[in-house]
Structure 1
Amino acid sequence: MQLIRIIQSMFQYCNEFVMWLFIDFLFGYAYNQLRIGGSFMNAKNSAPKRFGVKGMVILSLTVVAMASLFFIVYESMKKEVTVVADEEEFHTNTMAETVEDVLNELGLEKDEHDYLSEDLTKEVEDGMEIELDYANEVVVTVDDETETYHTLADTADEFLEEENIKISEHDHLSFELEEELSDGRHLAISKAFEVVINDDGEKKTVMTTGQTIQSLLAKEGIKLSDHDQLNMEPTKKLDSEETITITRVDKERKTYDEIIPFNTETESDDSLEKGKTRIVQQGKEGKKVQTFEITYKNGEEVSRELVKEEITEESQNRVVAQGTKEPPKRTVAKKSSNVQQTSAKSESKSKIETKDTKQETGKTMVVQATAYSTNNPSLGTHTATGIDLRSNPKVIAVDPNVIPLGSKVWVEGYGTAIAGDTGGAINGKKIDIHFSSYEKARSFGRKTVRIKVY
């Protein structure tokens, strides 16, 4: 026992390499003694033998025993250590003094971010268990900002909580929260923000990430027709709080029957006295069918375009002959009494005519009224007297010989209007009534009405 303690003391101050040199020396020495002993036994007439056979055997056994003793002592001084590195177990019997020496023997390295259950400088104990967890390098990109982390967390969810990285249910993640992390994993997070969608005047707020307008609308189940309009390009990528405005555009085609007014032509007639006229040909209105394409934005009409026009009946102009013949000269009566009588009769007749005219302009008439609207693109917006129908819509077209221009006229079913326009087809007791709405004009159409001129 004393010998074992001495050898153990030697092992405390000698390394493994020196002890194996000592064992090698013992075997070498034994081998040389055996060889020398054998030479003495075979030599003739030699000196007395140093060793006999029995001595050689004892020497050999002694050397083997010493070597075995040294081996047993060496093995007894080793410590059993278990190292678990990322779920992989390493078992070793070692002469290492510290935990760091054990890791070096096993070829294991510890980084500053890794977890080690024991201090590197701690002395090794028999039966020691050492746990080594390697940290994973994780790259995180939030919108356009990228940062590198080292973590011991097992899952992405644990890592986000560990680093206090907040996410919402609307954020877009390139990973699953439950997935296990691996070294070099890249986690991308797109933060959600508010966007207002104004669809035909109805607004709603949605949460979205950096996606395009068309993908957002598809996600929200909002469909666009070929004519609908956006205030931005549909392929634009949203990157901030914005308002998407959708203008619903509808188009339809409508067909209308229209009247073609006739014109009045004047021709000279030398068989008629000057100042006299004669109708050579009565005028006749024509007919045409017009097709308009009407555009509505968010339910309101914004334009109408004439896309087709077909004349179904041609109009016929009115031809009026105007006299150019000089009237015959009249003889003036010489008697003053006759002149006075004639003058009195003329004055009386003039008074009667003036009275009749006043009665005519002050009484009710029955006329034929036709409605029209400047919303029809084929018609102008100003009357013959210069009235702008867009700002003064209550205007009728008249025959000035029947209703003086500028008169106020009450029209049955329409109200009071200004006689401020004329027309080639308006002769005698005919009037045209202006409506701002094309639909109202079509609804009124043409009818016989009572009017009163003021």
Structure 2
Amino acid sequence: MEINRSHFLPSLSFGKKLVISVISLILFGGVITYAVYEATKATVTLSIDGEEVEVRTHASTVAELMKEQEWNVQEYDQIEPGLDSTISGSMNITWNQASEVLVTSQGLEESVWTTAETVEELIEQLGIEYKKYDYLEPGLEDEITDNMNLVYESAFQVELTSDGEQQEFWTTSTTVADFLERESVTLGELDRVEPKLTERLDRESEIKVIRVEKVTDVVEESVAYGTVTRKDNELTSGKEEIVQAGEDGKVSKHFEVILEDGEEVSRELVKTETVKEGKDRIVAVGTKPEPVQTVSRGSSSSSSNSSTSNSTSTNNSSSDGRTLTVTATAYTAGCSGCSGVTATGINLNQNRNMKVIAVDPNVIPLGSRVEVEGYGVAIAGDTGGAIRGNKIDVHVPTKADAYNWGTRTVKIKVLD
């Protein structure tokens, strides 16, 4: 069976045209719809940390816009107008993203979120009153960056006394040592600081630097000569002769002296050197008995009476209560080469504190008890070559005591 193709050709051509027309109409409608959709979008200019971005949106609020653009707004970010604001027509939105800053103020640390652009803006927001001498790091003009460390210390006054000068400083130092280092104050090995270097400074303070010196002072001193007595059986008992004159010695004393700010605070003897040897005074003391004069039993009564009269006179001269004014010096048995034994046999080296005086036996008999003004009751138990007339020499335990006694005019009373 043959098909007549020519019968169907006009029909197929019409169908194709119809399909194309429908599709074109749909596409045109879509374009129109899209155009209308785009035309109804709002134009928003968004400034993000100073950089501008322009977007078109059908979002009804700022919050919807941020969500639509997948922009994450943090709690401390600053958005103007706010997230609840309605979007309409052409609109400008400012979004400042907050940065986290670690702020250390007066030693206390705090994490701060801020949208400030500079350090100066941030410290104003924190209510910090920055003054000329305060410590601030970074500086006022530095820009805020995320995770920045900001350190602030308020300055206070410190009074420094050093090298004879008193000065006032503004400082933010934390310790005395830190302050001295900042002000270029150099300390010597012995120098002292008040308060101590480790002491904290957090308020107005007074700091003293005491300059300490250690010096050696050499002083020469005379050393008094001693007196040595030697028994001499060629001399009559009670007599003395100077065999050798005494001569003072000389020593050099080395002292360690501590000076604080130029004033002496301590002195310690560290060494003594002999510069010149002294010579003892050597005195010979007679031990030869005096010849004894005897009276014949056949003597006349006149002789006897004369003898009795002399005896009475002698007894009267040494009677109780006789008072004399004498010159008193002092001596000691504690000297180099001294025997320490008196003319009457008293060993003064074994009796250092015994009160004994040297006398002129013609004035005060040996063995008498004598009360000496300023000395006490003593035994007239010694003699001396220089002890003549109204002169006595009192025995004392040490040379220092002898120097202290010196030469005095005193009253004495012969007790018995």
TM-score, length basis structure 1? 0.61
- Alpha-carbon distance in 1 for matches of 2:396, 2:152: 71
Q: How much does 1:67 deviate?
A: 0.9
Distance (Å, rounded) in 2 between the aligned partners of 1:425 and 1:239: 57
- Going from structure 1 to structure 2, the CA distance change for 1:123 and 1:286 (only over 3 Å counts) comes to closer
Structure 1 residues 344 and 122, CA, compared in 2 at 3 Å: closer, same or farther? closer
Q: Does 1:191 align with 2:154?
A: yes
Larger displacement relative to structure 2 (294-303 or 58-67): 58-67
Q: CA RMSD in A?
A: 4.3
Q: Is the partner of 2:74 in helix, strand or coil?
A: coil
Q: What is the identity percentage for the equivalent residue pairs of Structure 1 and Structure 2?
A: 30
Tell me, what secondary structure is at the counterpart of 2:152?
strand
Show the counterpart of 2:335: none
Q: Following TM superposition, by how much is the alpha carbon of 1:155 offset from its aligned partner in structure 2, in angstroms?
A: 1.3
Supply the distance in 2 between the matched residues of 1:349 and 1:256 (Cα, whole angstroms). 52
Q: Which amino acid aligns with 1:175?
A: P
Counterpart contact for 1:259–1:288, Cα < 8 Å: yes
Contact 2:173 2:179 in 1 (8 A): no
Structure 2: stretches of 5+ with no match in the other structure: 329-351, 361-371, 376-393, 411-416
1:74 aligns with 2:37: no
2:48 corresponds to which letter in structure 1?
A
2:24 matched to which residue of 1? 64
Identify the residue that residue 338 of structure 1 maps to in structure 2: 306
Specify whether residues 187 and 433 from structure 1 end up closer, same or farther in structure 2 by C-alpha distance, changes over 3 A only.
farther
Check 1:70–1:271 CA distance in 2 against 1; reply closer, same or farther (3 A cut): same
Say which is worse superposed, 330-339 or 76-85, in terms of deviation.
330-339
What SS does structure 2 have at the residue aligned with 1:130? strand
1:258 aligns with 221
The aligned amino acid for 1:284 is E
The 8 Å contact of residues 78 and 98 in structure 2, kept in 1 or not, is answered as: yes
Deviation at 1:401, TM superposition (A): 7.9
Give the equivalent residue in structure 2 for 1:169: 132
Provide the rounded CA distance (Å) in 1 between the counterparts of 2:359 and 2:193.
Answer: 56
- 2:76 match: secondary structure: coil
User: Could you say which residue in structure 2 is the equivalent of 1:26?
Assistant: none
Contact between 1:142 and 1:189, CA under 8 Å: does it hold in 2?
yes
Aligned equivalents of 2:82, 2:209: Cα separation in 1: 66
Within 2, Cα distance between the matches of 1:230 and 1:433? 47
Q: CA deviation at 1:176?
A: 0.8
C-alpha distance 122-298 of structure 1, shift in aligned 2 (>3 A)? closer
1:304 aligns with 2:301: no
Q: Which amino acid aligns with 2:186?
A: K
Tell me: CA distance 1:136–1:210, structure 2 relative to 1, closer, same or farther (3 Å).
same
Distance 1:237 1:95 in 2: 64
2: CA distance between counterparts of 1:114 and 1:401?
114
Conserved 8 A contact 1:405-1:420: no
What are the residue-to-residue correspondences of 1:139-178 with 2, within 5 Å?
139-178=102-141
Please give the alpha-carbon distance, in whole angstroms, between the structure 1 residues aligned to 2:240 and 2:4.
Answer: 184
Taking structure 1 as reference, are residues 401 and 311 closer, same or farther at Cα in structure 2, changes over 3 Å only? farther
* 2: CA distance, partners of 1:196 / 1:433: 54
1:140–1:148: 8 Å Cα contact kept in structure 2?
A: yes
Map residues 235-384 of structure 1 onto 2, 5 A cutoff. 235-239=198-202, 242-331=205-294, 335=303, 338-339=306-307, 342=310
- Which 5+ residue runs of structure 1 have no aligned equivalent? 1-42, 363-383, 386-398, 408-418, 435-450
Q: Matches of 1:258 and 1:191 in 2, distance apart? A: 61
Q: TM-score, normalised by structure 2?
A: 0.66
Q: 1:296 to 1:313 in 2, by over 3 A?
A: same
Bigger relative contact order (CA 8 A; separation at least 6): 2
